[in-house]
């Protein structure tokens, strides 16, 4: 009697007056190529066999929806961030050319980070990549602004180097070493890729700002003159 009651209560949770619920269990991981194909097959099968509307819910379905919209949302986040940084820097230095060089230096660091991730064979969760790109672009632009501001004040690359390099290296090394250590120590699928990417991206940004940005900034000031 108790088993029958339990079964009836369980069935009541799966079948209602307006909607029914079906549970699908598989051995696939939450997110993978095989899981994506499996979700696609399930959706296609339901579209062919079910006469009424249906909704797919669950972890794997959520990842598949995120994956399908990733490219569009990545472009939106990238364009929005670039425009925001460009406008702020252009208004600060009153020079679209300087803003262009600073944005390009930061984007170079972002793309170096992407390439390093691909070469290293590391995997990213959807949200992790968007978070990393936004944080990286927002934080490392400070290095370029600092150097540019010193160069504008002194008019000398040597003096700008002397004043800006200690601050850039101090802040940069913190952003490189601390997230790098956390990325090695923590194996969480969400935390580890974020902090590791921040470390690699900051390293690329520091290299670009110290070795490439001075030439671009010096050229921009000469063009303006």
* pTM (predicted TM-score): 0.69
Please give the distance of CA 33 from its chain centroid, rounded to a whole number: 20
Helices (H) and strands (E) in the chain, counts: 9, 0
Q: How far apart are CA 123 and CA 196, in angstroms?
A: 11
Q: How much is the average pLDDT of 178-197?
A: 82
Residue 165's SS3 state is helix
Q: How much is the average pLDDT of 76-92?
A: 85
Per residue in 20-51, pLDDT (tens digit) is 888 888 888 877 788 888 988 998 898 888 88
15 forms beta bridges with 20
On the CB side of 94, how many CA atoms lie within 13 Å of its CA? 2
Per residue in 125-176, pLDDT (tens digit) is 666 677 777 777 777 788 888 888 888 888 888 898 889 999 999 988 998 9
CB within 8 A of 93, min separation 6: which ones?
A: 99, 148, 152
């Amino acid at each position: 009697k108790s088993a029958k009651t339990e079964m009836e209560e369980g069935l009541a949770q799966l079948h209602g007056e307006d909607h029914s619920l079906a549970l699908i269990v598989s051995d696939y991981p939450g997110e993978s190529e095989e899981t994506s194909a499996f979700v696609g097959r399930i959706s296609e099968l339901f579209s062919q066999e079910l006469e009424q509307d249906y909704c797919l819910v669950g972890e794997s379905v959520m990842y598949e929806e995120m994956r399908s919209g990733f490219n569009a949302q990545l472009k939106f986040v990238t364009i929005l961030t670039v425009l925001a940084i460009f406008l702020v820097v252009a208004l600060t230095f009153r020079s679209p050319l300087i803003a262009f060089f600073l944005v390009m230096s930061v984007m170079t660091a972002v793309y170096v980070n992407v390439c390093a991730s691909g070469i290293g064979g590391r995997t990213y969760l959807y949200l992790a990549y968007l978070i990393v790109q936004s944080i990286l672009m927002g934080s490392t632009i400070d290095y370029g602004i600092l150097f540019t501001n010193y160069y504008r004040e002194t008019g000398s690359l040597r003096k700008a180097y002397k004043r800006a390099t200690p601050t850039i290296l101090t802040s940069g090394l913190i952003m490189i070493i601390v997230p790098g250590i956390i990325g090695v120590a923590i194996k969480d699928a969400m935390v580890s890729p974020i902090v590791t990417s921040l470390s690699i991206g900051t390293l690329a940004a520091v290299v670009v700002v110290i070795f490439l940005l001075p030439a671009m900034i010096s050229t921009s000031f000469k063009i303006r003159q």
